[in-house]
Each structure stands twice: as structure tokens, then as C-alpha cells.
Structure 1
Amino acid sequence: MTMRRLALSNKKIRNIPRRLKGLAAWASRFEGYFPDDLTLEQKYCNWKIPVITTLVEGKQATTAIRKECAQQMINAAHHIRQARPKNAIDCRVITVICLPDMFTSEICIYTNLDYHRSHIPLIDSEYCPADKSLATEWGLVLPDGMKERGLRFTAEDCDGQPYEAEQWYFGEVD
């Protein structure tokens, strides 16, 4: 069973290939799956990335590992999109990849388009479009119909130090 875990130490991660294989198995379980209990009132449902924190964050998290995790999240979202029945409520399926805090990444189904648009920040003084493509940089394969949108976030943390982060949206984005 694949599940999320916080790592409270910096111990070396063991069995990385097994963990990545488990993530791939998790993504493949979405084949043919679309939640049948979604309602307009619900507005949103999500699945967080089911890995141990240190697999995608910290000194042991390599670009290759993060890339594989991002690809599996995209694959899972694609399976959900493919399984969506024609008579399903109008909804958007999105994969959100957050960097450097990749443990907060998730797959989202938005049943309310206004709610979906409110979750993707507007371009302002803190958020600006990313000047690159994560899919190109990491060699991610985007299935037909999936688009990419990247935003860069800049602010000061509580100590007055600059903090930069990126949010990447893959799927049915405007």
C-alpha cells in the first residue's frame, strides 16, 4: 500500500526503486477510475502525492526522482480524465506540482470552474508566469489534451529572507 509519510530525520532513504515502483502502481490504479459520487456542492476533491517526504524534498531528493514522481502524478490524472464518463458533471482534472515543496503536490478534480480558477493564483506582484517549461526541463510526457501552466511565487519569509517557489499545473488548465 502506498501512503504519505513525514520523515522526521535525515536518514538515508532506503529502497528508492521499490518506492518509485509503488508510486507507479498507485498511478495505474486510477486506470478506469472516476469518482462517481462527485457533486457540484463538493467543488473539489484531491489526492496528495503518496510518498515519504524525503523522497521528493531535501538533500536526497534528486531531479531524476522528482521527475519520476511528477510523471506518475501526471499519468494518474490522465487515467482519471480518460475514465470520466460522458455524462459526468463538467469538471477539470489537474495535477499540481509544487517546488521546492513537492510533498504538497496533488491531483485535483474541480467540479466548480469558478472554484478551480480561484485556486490558480492570478498574476500579480507575488505570482508571475514561469519563464520556462517544467515538462521540457524534466522531459515529462504530457498526454494529448493536457496543457502546462507554471507560476513563480516570490515573497519574504517570517525572517525577512526572500522565498521563491513554483507551482506547475498540468491538465485542463486555462
Structure 2
Amino acid sequence: MRQISFNRPKQKVRGSHRRLKALDAWAGQFEGYFPLEYSDERYIDYKIPVLDRLVDPPTTTKEWQNRAIAAMFKAYENLHSAKPSEFLAVNIDLILTWPDLHGSSIIIFFDESYREGFYEKDNEWQKRIPQTIGLEGIPFDVPKSIDVQLVNFMNRDYDGEETTDWYTTNWYVCASKNC
């Protein structure tokens, strides 16, 4: 279950083994499943279903983050392999936010023009700046069948009175090489 720790953001994570096991089970649920019931929509996304402290600094460990990333890749690969032949044009992207993995998600784009608009943001409030990187620039292990692109996601906040500074998050957008 996806949870955010508002009251105890730096408390020790209890039940990490159980939580990681549940994340692996969540990834396994996508085996042989493709969300055909949502094919009339422009997209559907699946957020990482964990407690934020399990995958976000300062309470996470490298081992927990690696297990969470492996589960996200497993869910992605299960969805990709279950994609029916009539949906070959449908794109599935895995977005891993780094180092705060709690923002990670798998997005299935049923509408290609929406996907292009999703990544091509450049306005007063949001910017998405893609960068080419090599495998040495990625802070986690990537399966060989996956291409990765770094996207700097910049977001500006408006608190009702004034516009604040830009906040930047690194997105690692992962897509299958054979798409």
C-alpha cells in the first residue's frame, strides 16, 4: 500500500522485509496482465506501492532501493510481455525518480500524442529537459533490454502570492529497446 509519512518522516522503518516482499508480490501481479479495460483512456499509471520511508533518504538503505527498483523493472517487464499484438503501438514507460524513489511509476500511454506532450513541457511552471547519458551515469542496475534517458523535471511552485524557485527532480525514463 502506498503511504506517506507526514507525522514520522525520519522514524525507523519497521517490517522492511514484509514490505519488500509485498512489493515483489505486487510486481508479480502484472504477469500475464495488460489493462485492456483502460484502453479508451489516454494513459494509466501505476505508482510504486510502498511506504515513502522505505525507498526515500534518509531512512532507506541501498539494498532496499535496489530491491524496489528490481520490483519496478519486473512489473514493467511483465506488463510489456503481456501487451497484446493489437496494442503494439502502445508505449509503456518506467519513470524512476532519483534519489526519492517514492515518486516512481509505470505509465502506459494509449495515446502517442499525449505521451509526446507529457515529456515536452517547457512553460512558466514546468520544464522537462532530456539529457543523453551512458550506463555509467545511472546510479542503479538496468536490464540489457532497456534504454534509459535522464530527464530533469523542473517544477515551479506558486504559494498564492509569489512564484518560488525551481525545484528539480531527476527522472530516469526507461523504455524497452524493441518498442
Shift of 1:135: 7.8
Take 1:38 and 1:48, find their aligned partners in 2: how far apart are those partners?
Answer: 16
Question: 1: CA distance between counterparts of 2:136 and 2:20?
Answer: 19
Counterpart check, 1:46 vs 2:63: no
Q: Which consecutive unaligned segments of at least 5 residues does structure 2 have?
A: none
For 1:15 and 1:34, the matched residues in 2 are separated by 31
- Alpha-carbon offset, residue 13 of structure 1: 0.1
How many residue pairs align between the two structures? 170
Task: Indicate if the aligned counterparts of 2:133 and 2:149 stay in contact, CA closer than 8 A.
Answer: no
Structure 2 match to 1:103: 102
1:1-174 correspondence runs (5 A): 3-8=1-6, 9=8, 10-39=10-39, 41-88=40-87, 90-121=89-120, 126-130=127-131, 132-133=133-134, 137-142=138-143, 144=145, 146-153=146-153, 163-172=167-176
Contact 1:78/1:143, CA 8 A, preserved across alignment:
no
SS of the aligned residue for 2:87 comes to coil
Q: Counterpart of 1:148 in structure 2: which amino acid?
A: V
Q: TM-score, normalised by structure 2?
A: 0.78
Task: Give the conservation status (yes or no) of the 8 Å contact 2:11–2:59.
Answer: no
Letter in 1 for 2:147: K
Q: Residues 143-163 of structure 1, C-alpha deviation per residue, up to 9 Å, x if partnerless?
A: 52x321111245776796664
* Identical pairs, percent: 25
Counterparts of 2:83 and 2:33, CA distance in 1: 8
The amino acid of 1:23's aligned partner reads L
The whole-number CA distance in structure 2 between the counterparts of 1:150 and 1:49 is: 19
Task: Work out the CA distance in 1 between the residues paired with 2:136 and 2:49.
Answer: 21
SS in 1 for 2:96: strand
Q: How far apart, CA to CA, are the structure 1 residues paired with 2:31 and 2:51?
A: 23
Give 1:61 deviation, angstroms.
1.8
Q: Distance in 1 between matches of 2:77 and 2:144?
A: 7
Partner Cα distance (1:166, 1:147) in 2:
16
Structure 1 spans left out of the alignment, 5+ residues:
none
